[in-house]
Chains A and B, each alone.
Chain A
Amino acid sequence: MAKTVTLAHGAGGKQTSELIHEVFEAHFKNPLFTADDAAVLDIEPGKLAMSTDGFIVSPYEFPGGNVGKLSICGTVNDLACMGAQPLYLTCAFVIEEGFPMDKLEEIAAAMEKTAAEAGVRIVAGDTKVAGKGQVDGVFITTTGIGRIREGVKTGGALARPGDAVIVTGDVGRHGCTILLARNEYGIVADVDSDCAPLWGAVDSVLAAASDVHVIRDATRGGVGTVLYEIAEQSTVGIRIDAPAVPVDPAVKGVCGMLGLEPLYLACEGRLVIIVPQEDKDAVLAALRQGKYTKGAAVIGEVTAENPGKVVMTTEIGAETLLPQPGGELLPRIC
């Protein structure tokens, strides 16, 4: 019978140390990974960014990744959005009793690989096991710290009229992938998650532009939600050119079947970047060299008019408001 996680693995005794030893230490080991109560870190002076995020995704594995990869990318990308090079991460697991051990291995392996790619070290962890049905598979919370690049100041309130609005690739892929992976609507499409660590991309953008105003990770709620957040925080309007928003044809097809808007589907490897017009071309050129950002595109500009609003220029050249994001995404048929 396949080995599974049991309540004993969470009880703190021998089996707990076995689990930590065989799964987590095996994948996360590095000189800083602590066996004590807390990791001890040497940090150079300067500004730090710190972020935490919980990851629950059903199903926990999907085309293009799993919850482990997601948990590293999410926190790495949150730090990157502040112009911070991710340095250290901690992770806390809540595992459902009966969870297959080999799947837990795969999740840990994905975390190891993604962390290595992002140049971040996992320095501490925690494991709890919850009774059957108390959690759905495995929940992971990661917390990270990173060092902010000298002279860099990004934030949602820093968009200025005239700035260019860039997305780093086609939108809505992760949300669409999860929707398909749940197999509730009988739709099949060759779509995989955009889930990716983006510090490398941000690093190249910071090198290419003299002044980056906003970097936002378009996760839950998608690019549309992020644009509204920025418009509100910066008290500016944002005008986007609807036909310029990159969308994978299959994502468009799925959205067409279900009556959904790709701009509101989650991404896990897409940034909205706002820079002065004069930096636009250099940033775009840098992004198009990147592994995960080849599909970067300018989708619009920041305006002084319509503060707090996102306006779209539509395919017939008329202007209309992008609807405000709201509530649960429900497929619309009639």
Chain B
Amino acid sequence: MEQKRKTAREIIEGYDGPKLRIMEVCGTHTHEIFRLGVRNILPENIELISGPGCPVCVTPVGFIDEAIWLAEEKGCVITTFGDLIRVPGSEKSLAGARAGGARVNPVYTPTDAVAYAEEHPDEEVVFLAVGFETTTPASCMAVKQAKEKGLKNFSILTANKTMTNAYRALKGSADAFLYPGHVNAITGADSCAALVDEGIYGVVCGFTAKEILTALAVTITRLQEGKPFFMNCYPRVVTDEGSTAGKRMIEEVMEPCDTEWRGLGVIPQSGLRLRDEYAAYDARKKFGIPEMKGRSNPACRCGDVLQGKCTPADCKVFGKGCTPLHPIGACMVSDEGTCAAWYAYKRDVIE
């Protein structure tokens, strides 16, 4: 009789080779990995590092300051994904601004912000466009819709980012990446397969318990074989070429630019801004926002955490000055943030 193949879990739990460092890039992976307790079944010689794949966490302080300036100085209604509301700016968060009378509305999708603008022609509505390739098409759709409807009271504040150059910047931080499946749904598996030639390895990973365990088991197996590798472990969602329509949508409305990642600094050509044809929908141009050099708390080590250089436990303010209710760094804000996840799931027990 044929011997039964090992399960993903058996492969993971049974690993006893040299130390492996695997970075889960996506914040939703970080969240699910904690929620499922995956770290608690890993052998000691496998380290999972949480990477910079949480748009909230990599959004620089100055961006929040810009949004607050729009709300307070220009009386704009700020529409945003809920995640950004508690992110600290230099002085305060959007929640703090709201308590002082600023209008801040969470929305489910950017096109809901367009609908709101259409229903409230007397209000200036600004959508905070954060996110990676997965989310950016939705913001582009919103801008296109606003243009088609001829809305004069809608604009977006862009902090959109793209992942490929971030992988390059992070090369060496880990032995392999678990690539963010929903980014690859747009960019395609090929975008990461191409990185193998540059010595960057990993697998595209899904989000259910089975998918995460399988992606880890495949990564461990391939790393043990010691050869360059890439594998799409999420083919039910991710195709080789990705979403042609999604990529086209981004390209039509936005163009690459250099951008600052909180903690990582400026990564060349890793950001997106509106093309000139859509300048009327660019809140920076429309309102002439002054340059904001955000000030973050110097004790905060979010940047090192994002690069896998230290864990939250190594940060002096973690769990003391910096908690989910009173976050100092962005990584403590979003449920996806590494520090928030550590605080929630790992503070002192169940190691």
Contacts and interface: CB of A to CB of B under 8 A. Distances in A.
* Contact flag (A, B; Cβ within 8 A): yes
Contact of A330 (B82, B131, B347): B82
A320 B342 CA distance: 11
Contact of A318 (B36, B55, B112, B343): B36
Nearest to B327: A327
22 contacts: A184-B107, A185-B107, A185-B108, A185-B112, A186-B108, A306-B349, A314-B36, A316-B41, A319-B40, A319-B350, A320-B36, A326-B323, A326-B325, A330-B85, A330-B86, A331-B106, A331-B108, A332-B83, A332-B334, A333-B135, A334-B83, A334-B130
A257 B131 CA distance: 17
Interface in B53-88: 54-56, 81-83, 85-86
Contacts of A332: 81-83, 334-336
Interface in A217-258: 257-258
Interface string B5-28: 000010000000000000000010
A259 B37 contact: no
B345 interface: yes
Interface string B181-217: 0000000000000000000000000000100010000
Q: What are the nearest 3 A-B pairs in CB distance?
A: A318-B37, A330-B82, A323-B344
A315 B336 contact: no
B315 interface: no
A323 B345 contact: yes
A320 B209 contact: no
Contacts of B41: 316, 318
Contacts of B349: 306, 309, 311, 321
Interface of A: 184-187, 257-259, 306, 309, 311-312, 314-316, 318-321, 323-324, 326-328, 330-334
Interface residues of B, number: 43
Contacts of B275: none
Contact of A327 (B37, B86, B108): B86
B285 interface: no
A259 B108 CA distance: 10
Interface string B300-341: 000000000000000000000001110000000011100000
Contact of A324 (B81, B95, B344): B344
B346 interface: yes
Contacts of B278: none
- Of B36, B95, B213, B323, chain A has the most CB atoms within 10 Å of the CB of B36
Contacts of A186: 108, 112
A56 B117 CA distance: 29
Contacts of A315: 36, 209
A17 B256 CA distance: 70
Contacts of B229: none
Contacts of A328: 85-86, 95
A334 B106 CA distance: 12
A328 B105 CA distance: 13
Contacts of B9: 316
A318 B347 CA distance: 17
A315 B35 CA distance: 10
B86 A320 contact: no
B344 A316 contact: no
A175 to B, nearest CB: 15
A193 B86 CA distance: 29
Contacts of B109: 333
A268 to B, nearest CB: 23
Contact of A314 (B35, B54, B81): B35
A323 B108 CA distance: 23
A334 B131 CA distance: 7
B36 A333 contact: no
A332 B85 CA distance: 10
A316 B12 CA distance: 13
A259 B41 CA distance: 25
Contact of B35 (A184, A306, A320, A327): A320
A333 B38 contact: no
Given A321-B344, A323-B344, A332-B336, A311 B106 contact: no
B108 A334 contact: no
Interface string B94-131: 01000000000111110010000000000000000011
A321 B351 CA distance: 10
A320 B334 contact: no
B345 A320 contact: yes
Nearest to A331: B82
A314 B27 CA distance: 19
Contacts of B343: 324
B29 to A, nearest CB: 13
B33 to A, nearest CB: 10
A321 B325 CA distance: 18
A215 B335 CA distance: 30
Nearest to B210: A316
Nearest to A329: B82
Contacts of A187: 108
Contact of A326 (B108, B324, B334): B324
B324 A327 contact: yes
Nearest to A185: B108
Contacts of A330: 82-83, 85-86, 106
B335 A314 contact: no
Given A320-B350, A321-B349, A323-B345, A333 B81 contact: yes
Given A311-B349, A321-B350, A334-B56, A316 B108 contact: no
Contacts of A333: 81-83, 108-109, 135
Nearest to B209: A316
Contacts of A327: 86, 324-325
A259 B34 CA distance: 15
A314 B209 CA distance: 10
A160 to B, nearest CB: 20
Contacts of A185: 107-108, 112
Of A258, A259, A306, most B-chain CB atoms within 10 Å: A259
Contacts of A309: 349
Contact of B347 (A314, A321, A331, A334): A321
B108 A314 contact: no
